[in-house]
């Protein structure tokens, strides 16, 4: 029996009206999670890791990220925007951070909280975790949620190498919540909203790996908010501040690739870009690379500035953020009184940051029973030999190997290969199941 439980949920959706079933996304998906059914792309929940490659590749913009209705913020008296440093990096340097925050306030937020403010606190937690696990040689950073899911489905043997701690976002959400509760504001009146640069972070908020409440009321796509703010910036005359103190230069650099690694000793590996991460994990799994200490892995190029919901070229945004970090360093140097307040991060929050368990979810395993899996693997090998091996995708699977697997799993029919029995009625029916009415009947 193949596992039928859905243990992952996603925010990546296919717009059936726009999708033409062109197979572009299906061929690019790193976990072979997409099939064409009824002429449309269908994403498998248990295989998808939220990397967003499908969305990036879609020529018809038929793949989108479901976000919360912006008007949802009106349900709360206290409306907090959790803003990641990448958002500021979307705007030209001529706009000051304070101008951008002023726009967010005009849009309806009552408080702005900078997410990466918690980085220093979290780095200490990571270091403590690593010291407490001397039996582990390589520690995979849990920062990129797509990496966690990728490891779960493709590299189950490395699951124990992931640091079981939550991200700066989780720390930030709890810290701001506590601060507001301490001010006597009722819980029901507080709505915390996160501005996300990618699909994986939405999924990590909506469907966290630990199944614990994230305290976040909603998620707003960064590109959506960028458009709103950009429109207002040109005639903005006010400025506003975030309620937490200014970020440190290290905080601002954290979301960029190498920004996390810089906080740890021994010049750790910092790998960015999906294919690079896959290659690296392949080697790590086989002991072909020795990576003592932390490894920073980011599915997007250049880190979070490469997220699918960002609006700027990742290198441009990176430069802006580096400039901002330099500016902050200078400010800090010039004004001795500028101190960073980390008092809101308590012991209590530290305890809540532990992820109790990360389960391996192998997408390769054919069956839980070795004997059954063995028979299926044998059959798969046999079927694969029969298939043409040209990976044309006309069957609705990304490759001949994937079709062979679908067949033994009972999810596809061998007749859906257009090279097998290609003039039989069974073949035509199978092709029609995949491609719908775009297949013309053969007239002889």
Partner 1 sequence: MHYTFTIEQGNFTDAGQASSSVKRTLKQLGVDPANIKRTVVALFEAEINAVAHAYGGTIDVDIDDGKIVMVVADQGPGIPNIDLAMQEGWSTASAKVREMGYGAGMGLPNIKKNTDDLKIDTKIGVGTTLTMTVNLV
| Positions in the binding site for partner 1 (CB under 8 A) | 156-157, 282, 285-288, 360, 362, 364-368, 370, 373-374, 376-378, 380-381
Nearest to partner 1 of 290, 437 (CB atom): 290
Q: How far is the CB of 157 from partner 1 (least distance, A)?
A: 3
* 130 neighbors 139 (Cβ within 8 angstroms): yes
Q: Which helix (H) or strand (E) holds 400?
A: helix 400-408
Q: How far is the CB of 277 from partner 1 (least distance, A)?
A: 17
Place of tokens 């491609």: 435
Q: How far is the CB of 366 from partner 1 (least distance, A)?
A: 5
Q: How far is the CB of 1 from partner 1 (least distance, A)?
A: 13
Q: How far is the CB of 384 from partner 1 (least distance, A)?
A: 12
Q: How far is the CB of 377 from partner 1 (least distance, A)?
A: 5
Q: How far is the CB of 285 from partner 1 (least distance, A)?
A: 7
Report how far residue 122's alpha carbon sits from residue 345's, in angstroms, rounded to the nearest whole number: 9
Nearest-CA neighbor of 388 among 431, 417, 412, 425?
Answer: 417
Nearest to partner 1 of 288, 423 (CB atom): 288
Nearest to partner 1 of 247, 295 (CB atom): 295
Nearest to partner 1 of 296, 405 (CB atom): 405
Helical axes 370-386 vs 400-408, angle rounded to 10°? 140
* 217 neighbors 191 (Cβ within 8 angstroms): yes
Nearest to partner 1 of 285, 301 (CB atom): 285
Nearest to partner 1 of 156, 293 (CB atom): 156
Nearest to partner 1 of 1, 131 (CB atom): 1
Nearest to partner 1 of 146, 363 (CB atom): 363
| Number of continuous H segments (helices) and E segments (strands) in the chain | 16, 11
Nearest to partner 1 of 157, 346 (CB atom): 157
Report how far residue 415's alpha carbon sits from residue 435's, in angstroms, rounded to the nearest whole number: 13
* 340 neighbors 245 (Cβ within 8 angstroms): yes
Nearest to partner 1 of 367, 428 (CB atom): 367
Q: How far is the CB of 358 from partner 1 (least distance, A)?
A: 14
Report how far residue 32's alpha carbon sits from residue 45's, in angstroms, rounded to the nearest whole number: 11
- The SS3 call for residue 392 is coil
Report how far residue 402's alpha carbon sits from residue 364's, in angstroms, rounded to the nearest whole number: 11
Report how far residue 155's alpha carbon sits from residue 89's, in angstroms, rounded to the nearest whole number: 33
What does DSSP assign to residue 354? B
Report how far residue 131's alpha carbon sits from residue 121's, in angstroms, rounded to the nearest whole number: 16
* 46 neighbors 10 (Cβ within 8 angstroms): no
* 299 neighbors 141 (Cβ within 8 angstroms): no
Sheet holding 111-114, edge to edge: 111-114, 78-83, 190-196, 218-221
Q: How far is the CB of 12 from partner 1 (least distance, A)?
A: 25
Q: How far is the CB of 46 from partner 1 (least distance, A)?
A: 15
Q: How far is the CB of 385 from partner 1 (least distance, A)?
A: 12
Sheet holding 293-298, edge to edge: 138-140, 293-298, 269-272
Give ∠ CA 43-49-51 in degrees, rounded to 5: 95
* 10 neighbors 48 (Cβ within 8 angstroms): yes
Give ∠ CA 432-435-440 in degrees, rounded to 5: 65
The tokens describing 344, both together, are 């809101």
- The SS3 call for residue 147 is helix
Nearest to partner 1 of 352, 362 (CB atom): 362
């Amino acid at each position: 029996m193949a596992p039928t439980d859905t243990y992952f949920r996603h925010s990546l959706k296919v717009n059936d009206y726009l999708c033409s079933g062109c197979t572009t996304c299906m061929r690019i998906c790193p976990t072979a999670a997409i099939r064409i059914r009824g002429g449309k792309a269908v994403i498998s929940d248990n295989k998808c890791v939220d990397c967003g490659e499908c969305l990036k590749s879609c020529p018809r913009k038929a793949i989108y990220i479901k976000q919360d209705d912006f008007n949802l913020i009106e349900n709360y008296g206290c409306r907090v925007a959790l803003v990641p440093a990448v958002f500021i990096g979307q705007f030209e340097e001529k706009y000051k951070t304070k101008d951008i925050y002023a726009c967010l306030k005009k849009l309806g937020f009552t408080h702005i909280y900078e997410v990466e403010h918690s980085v220093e606190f979290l780095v200490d937690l990571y270091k403590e975790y690593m010291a407490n696990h001397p039996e582990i040689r390589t520690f995979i950073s849990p920062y990129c949620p797509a990496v966690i899911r990728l490891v779960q489905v493709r590299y189950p043997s490395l699951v124990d190498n992931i640091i079981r701690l939550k991200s700066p976002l989780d720390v930030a959400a709890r810290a701001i919540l506590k601060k507001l509760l301490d001010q006597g504001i009722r819980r029901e009146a507080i709505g915390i909203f996160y501005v996300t640069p990618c699909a994986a972070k939405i999924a990590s908020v909506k469907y966290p790996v630990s199944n614990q409440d994230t305290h976040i009321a909603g998620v707003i796509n960064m590109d959506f908010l960028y458009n709103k703010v950009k429109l207002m910036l040109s005639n903005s005359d006010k400025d506003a501040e975030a309620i937490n103190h200014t970020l440190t230069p290290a905080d601002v650099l954290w979301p960029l690739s190498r920004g996390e690694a810089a906080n740890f000793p021994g010049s750790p590996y910092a790998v960015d870009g999906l294919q690079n991460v896959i290659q690296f994990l392949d080697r790590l799994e086989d002991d072909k690379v020795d990576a003592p200490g932390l490894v920073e892995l980011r599915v997007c190029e250049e880190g979070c500035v490469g997220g699918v919901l960002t609006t700027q070229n990742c290198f441009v945004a990176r430069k802006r953020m580096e400039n901002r970090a330099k500016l902050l360093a200078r400010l800090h140097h010039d004004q001795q009184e500028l101190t960073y307040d980390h008092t809101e991060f308590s012991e209590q929050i530290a305890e809540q940051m532990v992820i109790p368990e990360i389960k391996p979810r192998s997408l390769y395993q054919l069956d839980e029973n070795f004997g059954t899996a063995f028979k299926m693997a044998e059959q798969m090998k046999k079927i694969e030999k029969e298939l043409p091996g040209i990976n044309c995708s006309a069957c609705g699977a990304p490759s001949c190997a994937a079709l062979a697997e679908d067949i033994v799993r009972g999810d596809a029919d061998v007749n859906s290969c257009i090279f097998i029995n290609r003039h039989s009625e069974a073949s035509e029916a199978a092709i029609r199941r995949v491609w719908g009415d775009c297949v013309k009947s053969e007239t002889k």
